[in-house]
């Protein structure tokens, strides 16, 4: 049976850092139809900000490409997929280690994936060198 509350949206934008706030605000606005708590909303926006920043800094390495976000709502769960068609991640296990930064000279904390993992219920990252990276996250909101 179709749940009339189920919903989805797609957002495509250029990999410019000015779009980081646009991306998290848009996903936050989409998630707001689930009446999230302030903490839940902050968790989602922070996780999205981390994934989008990774796509811009590491995926496209400050060249310009498209960042795709696809969100789905099923019952009380929001599924968020953020992908780029950038350089990909050579060593994904290393990149996902807390405090590891691929750009130490940029003063990154290396906490991006840890934040996503902590603030969301699930995190799955797939990456192919020279093809790009896709981050899939989900979070079930309290009723």
Partner 1 sequence: MDIKLQMKGRTLIAALSGELDHHSAKTVKDMLETAIVNKSAQNMVFDLTNLTFMDSSGIGLMIGRYKLITSIGGKVCIVSKSKTLNRLISMSGVTKLMDIYQSTDDAVKSVGGM
| 3-class DSSP string for the chain | CCCCCCEEEEEEEECCCCHHHHHHHHHHHHHHHHCCCHHHHHHHHHHHHHHHHHHHHHHCCCCCCEEEEEEEEECCEEEEEEEECCCCCCCHHHHCCCCCCCCHHHCCCCCHHHHHHHHCCEEEEEEECCCEEEEEEEEECCC
Nearer to partner 1, 56 or 71 (CB): 56
Q: Does 84 bind partner 1 (CB under 8 A)?
A: no
Is position 54 annotated as part of the catalytic site?
A: yes
String marking each residue 8-27 x if it binds partner 1 according to CB under 8 A: ---------xx-xx--x---
Is position 50 annotated as part of the catalytic site?
A: yes
Q: Catalytic one among 54, 61, 72, 81?
A: 54
Q: Does 87 bind partner 1 (CB under 8 A)?
A: no
Q: Does 31 bind partner 1 (CB under 8 A)?
A: no
Exactly one of 81, 96, 102, 111 binds partner 1 (CB under 8 A); which one?
111
- Segment near partner 1 (CB under 8 A); pick from 6-14, 71-79, 113-121, 124-132: 113-121
Is position 142 annotated as part of the catalytic site?
A: no
How many other CB atoms are found less than 10 A from the CB of residue 54?
24
**Measured distance CA(71)–CA(28) in Å, rounded:** 11
The contact set with partner 1 (CB under 8 A) reads 17-18, 20-21, 24, 38-39, 42, 45-46, 49-50, 53, 56-57, 106-112, 114-115, 118
């Amino acid at each position: 049976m179709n749940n009339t509350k189920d919903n989805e949206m797609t957002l495509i934008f250029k990999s410019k850092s000015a779009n980081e706030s646009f991306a998290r605000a848009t996903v936050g606005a989409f998630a707001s139809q689930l009446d999230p708590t302030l903490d839940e909303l902050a968790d989602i926006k922070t996780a999205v900000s981390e994934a989008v920043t990774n796509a811009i800094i590491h995926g496209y390495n400050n060249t310009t490409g498209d960042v795709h976000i696809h969100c789905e709502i099923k019952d009380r769960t929001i599924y968020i997929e953020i992908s780029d068609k950038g350089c990909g991640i050579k060593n994904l296990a290393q990149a996902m280690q807390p405090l590891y930064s691929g750009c130490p000279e940029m003063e990154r904390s290396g906490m991006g994936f840890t934040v996503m993992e902590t603030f969301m219920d699930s995190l799955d990252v797939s990456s192919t060198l020279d093809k790009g990276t896709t981050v899939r996250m989900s979070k079930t909101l309290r009723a």
